[in-house]
Amino acid sequence: MNALDLDVLQQARDWVAAGKCVHLVTVVQTWGSAPRQAGAMLAVRDDGRVVGSVSGGCIEDDLIARARAGELEDAPARLTYGVTRDEAARFGLPCGGTLRLISERLHDTVWLDRVLASIREHHLIQRTVDLVDGHTSISPAGPADGPDFDGRRFRSVYGPRWRLLIIGANHTARVLADIAATLEFHVTVCDPREEFFSDWNAAQATLLTSMPDDAVLEIGTDERTAIVAVTHDPKLDDMALLEALKSPAFYVGALGSRANQEKRRERLRLFDLEDHQIERLHGPVGLRIASKTPAEIAVAIAAELIWVRNSLGDGQAARSVPQANALKE
């Protein structure tokens, strides 16, 4: 879940608690080019106040008009935009783009409170709504689960923001932190070395000065956490990897040449790691784009993070990413 959609849930909850009439609108299906993907949300009040986005703006205007006119139903209902070419043009949808939305009145904060509590505890949760009988249910979700709609039931998946723990407060980490924050990762940087953390000034990242293995445990690593070691110091990188490779993190990577990665794997085998855990390591880290400078390496790492994040649930996709060239040592 990105920061915008989390804000939608929190603001919708606060509005309902204050006694406002609020509808939650969720993108459940898209065809062709669409400005927002399935799962994107918007909350709109009957006075026209809105938070979130389901399109580039014109659909939001129509939803606001419907809310003010009292035309949004209390029961969950389907809304489809862009069925015809003229309608797509009127609502500013790209060529061939069609959006199907579900609108539902929020009568209380019970399920919102439960979802928000799960997010704070770094748990994934899914909510299913039956459009025919109105039945709703909430249950745990896995990292491969996503929004789904079969024509009768739609499922929304809510969870904590994607997180990135970077081991090392060097130049590569600084650039990577900025890029990752732009990509909706909550970024934490860990480096216990005073000569590195004393001058750290990346506003987009939280700085930890604990030991790397402690940091992996401290942040509560979950299925939406990525961990990347970039110090080039085996004493620090390997400490983090020992814990990271045993964790549920969806991505674990380390900077270094192919030769150094083989040495690293040999060292890891001396500890209590199983082969299948060591095989999770992305090293050399990042997509293969002939990167050389710290900024280019950061771009390669960020690209691989996005590739793996967007491929969750696609079999072994996460391990078939084209491996990168990292800095040669």
For residue 327, give Cα distances in angstroms to 67, 203, 210: 55, 26, 26
Classify residue 265: in a domain, yes or no: yes
* Residues spanned by the domain of 50: 3-158
Kindly indicate the confidence band of residue 84, based on its pLDDT and cuts at 50, 70 and 90.
low
Classify residue 329: in a domain, yes or no: no
Classify residue 325: in a domain, yes or no: no
For residue 180, give both structure tokens.
């990752």
Q: What is the mean pLDDT of residues 80-105?
A: 71
- pLDDT above 80 for 94: no
Lowest-confidence pick of 47-61, 213-227, 286-300: 47-61
Classify residue 324: in a domain, yes or no: no
Q: What is the mean pLDDT of residues 130-150?
A: 88
Same-domain status, 15 and 110: yes
Same-domain status, 203 and 153: no
- The winner for highest mean pLDDT among 15-24, 123-132, 257-266 is 15-24
- Last residue in a domain, options 124, 158, 192: 158
CA distance 131 to 76: 6
- pLDDT above 50 for 195: yes
Q: Tell me: the pLDDT tens digits for 234-263? A: 999 999 999 999 999 999 999 999 999 999
> Would strands 136-140 and 125-130 be described as parallel, antiparallel, or unpaired?
antiparallel
Kindly indicate the confidence band of residue 34, based on its pLDDT and cuts at 50, 70 and 90.
low
Same-domain status, 226 and 142: no
